A and B are shown apart, each in its own frame.
Chain A
Amino acid sequence: MNLSCHHNYRFFPIIIIIMISIQSQQDTILRIKELLKNLRYLDSLPVKSSIEINKIESYDPISIVPVVSVINQKELTYTYQDKNASPLKVKCFPEEINDLNSLRLLKTQIPIIHLHLASINNKEISQRINILHSIFLDLLKNNVITDKHFLKLVTDNTFGFILGEMIDNIEEHAKARNIYLHAQYQVQNNSCEVCLLDDGNGLLGSLRSAGREIQDSQEALRKILETGLSAKTESGKIIRGTGIKNTRLAITNQEINGEFLVLSGDAAFLHSARKGATFINIKNYFWQGTIVMMILNKPKSEFNLYDYVR
């Protein structure tokens, strides 16, 4: 069983059995800790190894998507020890997304979508990203969020905005070869979690490519958050970026009460409306690219995005 859209099976004489567990966790810090443990395991494997997935208790996006992307990238084959676990299916965009009706059969989640960007020109990348955003919003509104009152209060404009800001960052700055996107609505918590990742330059790489003198991922993250440092220039001047700031404000206010995570290189930042902000220094692991997680909770009254974003 494999997840790759372009996998060619070859007999590989060395088989390595690695146990990966994904446990059900409420606390995001614990989920990130478990994710990093799994990513470190996968990072140590040769390409085309075989792995055994021990246990998957929870399919929440931030725990699953980075693991799936590495499995795909390293062309790993895997089996489940727990026979009751569902496979980690990936839908390749656009080849496997054309039939929206089959995607609509899944309630409360959008499958993991993989957009492969290498070898296509900027216009085609742009076209695919716009359509992906369109399809993703359509599925969120009409399928995934089964509580229509949730959608009415949060508004599809909010989802469109936060997703658009983060996807736009990938298109403008990342130079990524792959994008993965996944969403899940948790009925019991009245919350929707979205995970988006890319394998591009990452925050540090993007800033350095634009000539910004930044020492490491931690500094890159802090400067982006505290000063709006951006890779963008206009008429020769550095202009400030507001995408991450506005997304964070849209999610972590007291109405949406959500969580926003950005992880790039060996640094991460988690802002929870309930628990505050945390910088995370990541030891012994470096994610080439950027991972974003957004959790939105059902507000008590209709949310106006423009009360928070500028």
Chain B
Amino acid sequence: MTMSDKIINISNLFSSYSLVTRQAARDICELISQMPENSIILDMERIAYASRSFFDELNSYENTFILSGKNVELINVNHNIASLLQMVKEKVNTTHNVSFESMAKASTISL
């Protein structure tokens, strides 16, 4: 972290300890794009939970940041969020080989 880094406290930005929505990621990326600084730090202190969709959306802007010369870093990420972030990145890096199961064994009733 240097003096020229711009730090955004995410919990304060949204007045929330949760980041569930894709729109939240879009709002952050819009804010980043408007900043003159090239090095942005997203401080996740007090963020207790973040969803897959949020990180999936945030990741989708990675190339945009690279092309615009911006470096975006996350800090103070708790263990649970770090695990989820890893899961999202692994899905991005592999083909979508999530398996689904047949429901043939499920019974059917009418109510």
The total of chain B residues at the interface (CB under 8 A) is 35
* Distance from A284 Cβ to chain B, minimum over Cβ atoms (Å): 10
Which of B1-9, B35-43, B68-76, B101-109 faces chain A? B101-109
Does A177 sit within 8 A of B, measured CB to CB?
A: no
- Option from B20, B80, B108 in Cβ contact (under 8 Å) with A279: B108
What is the CA–CA distance of A122 and B17 in the complex, to the nearest angstrom? 19
Q: Which residues of A contact B27 (CB under 8 A)?
A: 123, 126
Q: Which residues of B contact A172 (CB under 8 A)?
A: 22, 53
Contact yes or no, A137 B87, CB < 8 A: no
Contact yes or no, B111 A33, CB < 8 A: yes
* Distance from A19 Cβ to chain B, minimum over Cβ atoms (Å): 20
Given known A137-B49, A245-B100, A310-B98, contact A130–B24 (CB-CB < 8 A):
yes
Contact yes or no, B83 A134, CB < 8 A: no
The total of chain A residues at the interface (CB under 8 A) is 49
B residues 23-39 touching A (CB-CB < 8 Å) = 23-24, 27
Does A107 sit within 8 A of B, measured CB to CB?
A: no
Q: Which residues of A contact B87 (CB under 8 A)?
A: 306, 309-310
Q: Which residues of A contact B48 (CB under 8 A)?
A: 134, 137, 156, 160
Q: Which residues of B contact A165 (CB under 8 A)?
A: 51-52
Given known A168-B20, A226-B103, contact A133–B111 (CB-CB < 8 A):
no
